[in-house]
Amino acid sequence: MKRKITLLGGGSWGTALSKLLSENGHEVTVWLRDEEQCRTLSTERVNKKYLPKVQIPENIVFTSNIDEAVKNAEILLIVTPTQMIRSILKQISEEYKRDKIIINASKGIEIGTMCLVSDIVNEETRNCSFAVLSGPSHAEEVGLSLPTAITVACDDKDVAEKIQDAFMSTYFRVYTNEDVIGAEIGGALKNIIALGAGISDGVGYGDNAKAALMNRGIVEIARLGIAMGADIHTFYGLSGIGDLIVTCTSKHSRNWNAGYLIGQGMSKNEAISKIGMVVEGIPTTYAAYELSKKLKVEMPIVTAMYDILENNSDVKETVNKLMLRDKKEEKL
């Protein structure tokens, strides 16, 4: 079924998903706050900054008028950095942010409030169905129509299946899941572990160290998720281990790249500037650290990452502290 879908945001992920949805026959609009960028994308049909190898279909509409973009949309797809989502939703007129299906394709936790995106959407919209699109999915590969599998998590099975139908294609496979919290936590916190993986590689540690980091990282992610009401099985799936693997091992990953630069001696701000895009793992580290304290969940890797980012702790000394913690059994 053809649907009217508006994407809030037009970075790499927004560009790739708008192309996919357009190819699937939907009426696609992309909202961008920058008028000049809208004009450029409308005429040149290529996102030179983020996905220069991807041709944007002619029938995708770009606009900088947010009310115009969303007023007739059945589905709103959020593809902006997490820390911007609340302010963007506040810009939409009340009459246009009701009774929609809202899908979040960003991955993070709001600093200060420690809200998940589902919480933000619940607070800022009315009578909307919420879903999470998460899993191992680099925009660079989706934009080139390379095989990808992801999860859509929604507590309403009928809505989840509508979204599944909208996104499924010959190269984009979609599974459904009812565990919204688990999908959100898995997608957000894997970026912290990916930062750590990049730091490990940047310092010069080997595969053993990265494998241990990833394995114990998913344990910490699941531990926090369970404390927030998630299903442990979600962390075995695409939005858990799947997303963690791709983000920790691929040079497409901006979080891995930022971590690598930090491991090579750059400050976090220098690394962010060098990457030139939002590195979600950095603000998420701060939010997850506060959440772990609030919920009294033991998260030594997250704490170590917080110390490196906030206190400029020496990486090798921090690793030594992790390695020399009290002996324990391997368990969740």
**Tens digits of residue pLDDT in 202-232:** 999 999 999 999 999 999 999 999 999 999 9
Residue 38 has pLDDT above 90, yes or no: yes
Q: What is the pLDDT of residue 241?
A: 97
With bands split at pLDDT 50, 70 and 90, how would you rate the model's confidence at 325? confident
Helix axes 180-203, 117-124, angle to 10 degrees: 130
pLDDT of residue 160: 98
Give the model confidence (pLDDT) of 280-296 as tens digits.
999 999 999 999 999 99
pLDDT by residue (tens digit) across 117-146? Answer: 999 999 999 999 999 999 999 999 999 999
On the question of pLDDT at 72 being above 90, the answer is: yes
* pLDDT of res. 326: 82
Confidence of residue 330 (pLDDT cuts 50, 70, 90): confident
From 106, 27, 141, select the one nearest 74 (Cα to Cα): 27
Q: Is the pLDDT of residue 1 over 90?
A: no
Instruction: Compute CA distances 177 → 45, 75, 143, 151, 221, whole Å.
Output: 34, 18, 24, 7, 18
Per-residue pLDDT at 331 exceeds 80: no
Longest dimension (CA), the chain: 61
Q: Provide the pLDDT for residue 146.
A: 98
The pLDDT of residue 37 is above 90: yes
Structural contact between residues 266 and 202, judged by C-beta atoms closer than 8 angstroms: no
What per-residue confidence (pLDDT) applies to 251? 86
CA-based angle 177:212:223, to the nearest 5? 40
**Region 147-158: what's the mean pLDDT?**
98
Q: Give the residue, 331 or 125, on which the prediction is more confident.
A: 125
* 321, pLDDT greater than 90: no
Question: How do beta strands 101-104 and 129-134 pair?
Answer: parallel
Measured in degrees and rounded to the nearest 5, phi and psi for residue 312 equal: 55, 35
Question: What angle (nearest 5°) sits at the alpha carbon of residue 195, between those of residues 279 and 146?
Answer: 70
* Residue 97: active-site member: no
Does 270 score more than 80 pLDDT? yes
Give me the catalytic one of 100, 162, 190, 210: 190
Q: Where are the alpha helices (DSSP H) in the chain?
A: 12-23, 35-44, 66-70, 82-91, 117-124, 139-142, 157-167, 180-203, 207-227, 243-249, 254-263, 268-275, 281-295, 300-311, 315-323
Computed over every residue of the chain, the mean pLDDT equals 96
Name the amino acid, one letter, at 288.
Answer: A
pLDDT score, position 323? 86
Higher pLDDT pick, 237 / 323: 237
Sorting pLDDT into bands at 50, 70 and 90, what band is 248? very high
